[in-house]
Structure 1
């Protein structure tokens, strides 16, 4: 869609009405025109201006840049029944993403041995074939549109596949026997663990993609642009290995720390190295959990009375060195430029170079095409990463979850996403990104950097580059603080970012980096019962995508020590393991939940109802109007004794779609122990106007029906005058209860 200047139209004001004519020829073959009208004085506020009014009544007047969520679609066919229709969100043509995060290593594994630090042979592993029609049918029925196949790319691993040319990696480079799925060893291959026939692993992966598409869902995989395993080396497309440049024989210049055409950052020799010394051994003794495990396995193997064990070659020994970096060294994935990285560093990975030196004063120098110096050459790393995306797109992958996207220059993303969308217009990019990370790389676009009153936010850069969505870490943290102190429900609104970021953020209550909701040591020990209340808020807040992590739907607790994965309330991504609660749903590949408890079945059913419900217009297209701010002084807003103001445990908001007029009032009691009695939710005048209460008689009846309930759904009746006066009445709101009231006005 292009932008037409007002001067190109014949604009006239008459009796307070603006009329303008657009030249049809200027619109080429367009069938419709997306139109927003606004009045803004650009002579004020250092050229950022002041917005006085807009055709979208949801856009607030005021200083600076403003997010306009709604627009008018004008039909250019003169014979059409409707001249125009209201629309929401300028990228509304992108279908809303409801993502199921599926860790292939664990998802279908029903081996319940679960020996800490166990091998694949002992603990088992999930396979591509485990993700069968029954599994996919069930996930589609739950309401998911996309499956994120986490950990698919071939990673560094302690499992030996020498028979197909894939030997085990040096244990000094491993976190866990299975290995981290974010230490990629070959960007163009998949992990052989997941194939019934490892030599046919890519064929089996393609069949999985076909199954997902057959069930009318799309497949996302990881794209890990910031770093690779130190042992990286592709045997699928070796000419694109990092550190080399195609087939011309040239490679990185290792004599300098940074060159824009190098693929890596190279440590400079000093008294500490070379060689690179890894923090896995100390005084000749293994100290990393994985090295200790490998040493114990070797000892058992050599002393075994089993002839087969004794004939097996010994595993590589840990010595704190990597043969590939004895004469040079590379910066770690978390930007540590040291010959002796710490055990807490991403020492198993090497950072990739995108033409940006992240150190010192060099941070302001961009050796790649950007808004200030657009003619600089495209770095070699950019070209290779584009080939990675192209490879998986050609195979049938529909999109990418991009790991630590904020650590890579946004100008790369702008270029790479444009390249990817030229091949496939609807390819999805979801960015894991955190604006509060000191390692973030903001762009240099002079407009984007001054958005939101000049308060730089890397999320603007990433969304401007073309991401469908970026992570909403802030709302997740605000909710968690309510249970772990010192947060209140009122703080959820304070965590809300700029509207354009808010509407394009992906929300989650769990993922592989975060703790499990059902973990005993987390969320005040509430357990899996916290999930519905937490997710009713997170999933219903905006038009942005939502994500659910495998196991969350049945209350997976993430308890115990798996190996490298410690007792940290997370399901390990480093070890061969299975999920004790999810296997009850998997039920030997039937995916029928036969072994689930009644409570688990209801929990999974709740998530299904919620995820399907947020596909309706009020959530897919509608605005969000938070209500806690208007109810802080309302003593009937769930206030407990000795609390002031209201809004500690109660959170509510409205969702309203302009086109369909569908409206929901969402009310959530976050208190894990107490019911909230005789609650009143006051709708302020601005909210009442937004949902159309000002257009009905004050005593007109408004019916509210709870859409998430299964048995005996709650119904409430009120009037416009009561809703804006004393407030919508709710007699009893039990602990940890979410209510999704659809309002019939």
Structure 2
């Protein structure tokens, strides 16, 4: 029976992180112009100062523990900041008016868009960190280790720091101490078909061409490549069997360590590491302990999409958490859309083998994914609530909410470079209409939201508080109930649309049950096997057991003997797209 259940030893995890991702450039923007490819002055831009104590207090009340400020570090842009001593970027190697926050232009500087006084942009960021801490929230920022903007040049690096590429041997493709990979005797060519809203003053020149960020060893990347970025060299010789040259330590390792230390010393509490699996795991296993020497509580989150590498990046790479996009997100999305099968949820935790489930960061939206309410996803923000609740309660690991998810943001037209794709732009200036209603001109009280949006946001708030206030969720163990109820063992239990599991500690016990069917009300019974009842949860099967729904409502109550629970199960009615978290209590 052991292979049918996951007994992950997660009771030591007492910190159920609730991460709120803010796309900083958009968060505080009150401008409603929203012109296609609009300039900063036309469409407006959010500032650090828009993230006020009032805004942070509202997030704290919402149940947030960590705020991920996306797009903090200076990146390439089409906006001209040359009057402040910032070199202009060639539009041929910039995506969107505002530019991608993942094309870093200076690792030691702040994106000037985010400052009221550009000359004091670092001071304004430091003040934001202090405000966030004063609100009893922690700060996460992006760390982009794999690539930089094509015109990277740091004018804010500390004294004595050598810039990336400074001193590189450009006559060879690979050298262990080079920061970049080169294509000797070849000139870089921008992709065909680039449509820029800004006239190009002169062609972009790069000679010799450097290798493009998504491992493109070609001087002519396509428009679908990360053509605006350059791949960083961590001592992996890609063209010679991915040979690893790590002794002595490559220059890039040391420079990246110093950058992480720089931001840690600014008070940053954690890093979301972009495309972490494109950087050798050995680097992470070396650098994370180095940063932990300065802040033992630092959090490192890896964006990673290869499940075969999950254990490696936790065990060897020493990451705190990993994205669970390929696992749970990819399983729940089809269910939310009305297809797929709930059977795949069991396969997710089985693949994780139980020992890393507490390290998985669950989410249904982020800056890369399509909005739930959009025509490209569920078309209804409420359709995701069972999936979001399962994401938050399946195991002890953190959950993440993308700003505006809680009020049903629904992009319906192209903003610029990104086009009309159901996502909120990360490349252009824009005002997010639904979120602006919650912001309410800086009051952050939601007074402009309609009743449906208020109901949605209240649900997310209740869920956030539920998962951090109940030890069975934030520190309990997990037991999959599917095998005890499928294949005719429980009447009308549809294994493709129904899912059930236990979360429990010695002090608290929950049954979580879901119906993902969009049209059918499911009348069924939920059995708990004797092993789970007696051995795992320590309940005497001769006792009378009480069942009471505790989330999201308190409509369901029942009593049943332990014997009947094992053999017959307790009755439950699940309307379409619904779920129940039911507390089990008994008198010992």
Q: Under TM normalisation by the shorter chain, which class is it?
A: over 0.9
From 696, 716, 729, the equivalent of 2:540 is 696
| 1:430 match: secondary structure | strand
Tell me how far apart the structure 2 counterparts of residues 533 and 485 of structure 1 sit (CA, whole Å).
13
| 1:588 match: secondary structure | helix
Summarize deviations over 1:113-139 as a string: whole Å, max 9, x none. Answer: 111100100000111011111111111
From 425, 428, 433, the equivalent of 2:296 is 425
Determine whether 1:294 maps to 2:198.
yes
Q: Mean alpha-carbon deviation: is it higher for 720-729 or for 103-112? A: 720-729
Alignment root-mean-square deviation, CA: 2.1
Pick closer, same or farther for the CA change 1:534–1:61 going to 2, 3 Å. closer
Pick closer, same or farther for the CA change 1:422–1:727 going to 2, 3 Å. same
Determine whether 1:88 maps to 2:4.
no
Pick closer, same or farther for the CA change 1:621–1:458 going to 2, 3 Å. closer
Aligned to 1:624: 478
Aligned to 1:362: 241
From 676, 682, 695, the equivalent of 2:527 is 682
Aligned to 2:356: 501
- 1:495 deviation in Å? 2.3
What are the residue-to-residue correspondences of 1:666-745 with 2, within 5 Å?
666-676=512-522, 678-692=523-537, 695-698=539-542, 700-709=543-552, 713-730=555-572, 732-745=573-586
Aligned pair count reads 580
The answer to whether the 8 Å contact 1:103/1:151 transfers is yes
- 1:637 deviation in Å? 5.6
The answer to whether the 8 Å contact 1:230/1:350 transfers is yes
The answer to whether the 8 Å contact 1:637/1:650 transfers is no
Determine whether 1:211 maps to 2:66.
no
| 1:499 match: secondary structure | coil
Tell me how far apart the structure 1 counterparts of residues 556 and 71 of structure 2 sit (CA, whole Å).
42
Aligned to 1:480: 333
Summarize deviations over 1:503-525 as a string: whole Å, max 9, x none. Answer: 211000111111111112313x3
| 1:210 match: secondary structure | helix
- 1:61 deviation in Å? 8.4
Pick closer, same or farther for the CA change 1:61–1:486 going to 2, 3 Å. closer
Aligned to 1:241: 163
Summarize deviations over 1:407-426 as a string: whole Å, max 9, x none. Answer: 11111001110110001110
Tell me how far apart the structure 1 counterparts of residues 354 and 298 of structure 2 sit (CA, whole Å).
24
The answer to whether the 8 Å contact 1:435/1:459 transfers is no
From 171, 174, 189, the equivalent of 1:255 is 171
Tell me how far apart the structure 2 counterparts of residues 367 and 567 of structure 1 sit (CA, whole Å).
43
* Structure 1 outlier segments of 4+, above 6 Å: none
Summarize deviations over 1:326-384 as a string: whole Å, max 9, x none. Answer: x211111100010110000000000000011233x422x2111xxxxxxx211100010
Tell me how far apart the structure 2 counterparts of residues 112 and 723 of structure 1 sit (CA, whole Å).
56
The answer to whether the 8 Å contact 2:22/2:403 transfers is yes
Summarize deviations over 1:165-187 as a string: whole Å, max 9, x none. Answer: 12431100111000001000011
What are the residue-to-residue correspondences of 1:182-331 with 2, within 5 Å?
182-237=102-157, 239-244=161-166, 251-269=167-185, 274-279=186-191, 281=192, 287-289=193-195, 291=196, 293-295=197-199, 316-317=200-201, 321-323=203-205, 325=206, 327-331=207-211
What are the residue-to-residue correspondences of 1:366-405 with 2, within 5 Å?
366-368=244-246, 376-405=247-276
The answer to whether the 8 Å contact 2:21/2:68 transfers is yes
Which structure 2 residue ranges, 5 or more long, are not aligned? none
| 1:362 match: secondary structure | coil
What are the residue-to-residue correspondences of 1:14-25 with 2, within 5 Å?
none
Tell me how far apart the structure 2 counterparts of residues 116 and 472 of structure 1 sit (CA, whole Å).
33
Tell me how far apart the structure 1 counterparts of residues 483 and 30 of structure 2 sit (CA, whole Å).
48
From 456, 460, 472, the equivalent of 2:312 is 460
| 2:571 match: secondary structure | strand
Aligned to 1:123: 43
Pick closer, same or farther for the CA change 1:485–1:337 going to 2, 3 Å. farther
Tell me how far apart the structure 1 counterparts of residues 271 and 357 of structure 2 sit (CA, whole Å).
21
Summarize deviations over 1:694-727 as a string: whole Å, max 9, x none. Answer: x4243x22222222235x5432333312221111
The answer to whether the 8 Å contact 1:618/1:657 transfers is yes
- 1:96 deviation in Å? 2.7
Aligned to 2:369: 514
| 1:294 match: secondary structure | coil
- 1:631 deviation in Å? 1.6
Aligned to 1:572: 425
Aligned to 2:501: 653
Determine whether 1:113 maps to 2:48.
no
Tell me how far apart the structure 2 counterparts of residues 231 and 264 of structure 1 sit (CA, whole Å).
13
TM-score (norm 2): 0.94
TM-score (norm 1): 0.75
Give the number of the structure with larger relative contact order, counting CA–CA contacts within 8 Å between residues 6 or more apart: 2
Summarize deviations over 1:241-286 as a string: whole Å, max 9, x none. Answer: 1012xxxxxx0001111111000010133xxxx320011x4xxxxx
Which structure 1 residue ranges, 5 or more long, are not aligned? 1-57, 71-86, 245-250, 282-286, 296-315, 369-375, 437-455, 640-645
From 574, 589, 598, the equivalent of 2:451 is 598
